[in-house]
Amino acid sequence: MVTHKFKVSRVFMYAFLVLLLLLSVVPFYLVIVNSTHSSFDIVTQLNLLPGDALAENYETMQSHVNIWRGFANSLLIAIPYTILTGYFGAFVAYGFAKFNFRWKNTLFVIVLASMMIPSQVTVIGFYQLCLKLKMLNSYWPFVLRGICNATTVFFLRGIISQSIPNSILEAARLEGCSEIGIFNKIVLPCIKPGVMTMCIFNFVSCWNNYMEPLIVMSDNDMYTMPVMIAMIKGLYLTNYGAMYLAIAISVIPIIIVFCFLSKYIINGLTVGSDK
């Protein structure tokens, strides 16, 4: 009887997992399928099989925007931004986790408070800062802000506190290793899963950023993918096939990042839990 109940519970568990899988995969599948159909087919019917309007949608998309230029622009911002958030976020988290200094708790509270402020609220201040620093219509404001990412600092601080004992750090200091050397050779390799996890989330967040590039950039050739996708939508007529095709192209880097780095997500969330 117990075995029968166990089998039934496993059936329901697997059915629930399959349902979650479908809910995750079906939207991506529909985006790809709709990118091969005309706007009329997309509006009037549910398309489950690929169509024959891919070439037409591509020509329409390219007539509105240079999507591959936007693709390259997004990569020029997202890749260095992700690298900076991973390294400097871990560096600051190491300082908060393993060093005692004046106003430490106050500064960390400020970091936590900054996470609770919606990005839309800070847009005006961000624009004024870029204006005063003469960084309008450039990629530097988006790349340099990777040096200070509050979410990364908060996440990695907990990992460093739990997974790296102070005795290892003291032994390295006794051997004459500098603090930078300790961070690069000991701390960073130990928290690699956590750093990779935050790099995934930061890459996706930067890649999907729409409002700030729209406000800071004034040259159409410097727009990122989200902005160019929005530009495909016309004032009186929207070509949904071209929009779906642009969305499908924009999703490619996100899928690649998840395929290569997704193994770090579980390790990054559980590192230090077995201490």
pLDDT tens profile 11-42: 888 888 889 888 888 888 889 999 998 888 88
pLDDT tens profile 109-154: 988 888 888 877 888 888 888 889 888 888 898 888 888 888 999 9
What b/e readout covers 51-62, taking b as 16+ CB neighbours within 10 angstroms?
A: bebeebbbebbe
pLDDT tens profile 35-90: 998 888 888 888 888 888 889 989 988 888 888 999 999 999 999 999 999 999 99
Q: Report which of residues 206 and 3 the model is more confident about.
A: 206
**Structural tokens at position 180:** 């930078």
Question: Rounded to whole angstroms, how far apart are CA atoms 162 and 157?
Answer: 9
For residues 162 and 275, is the Cβ–Cβ distance under 8 A? yes
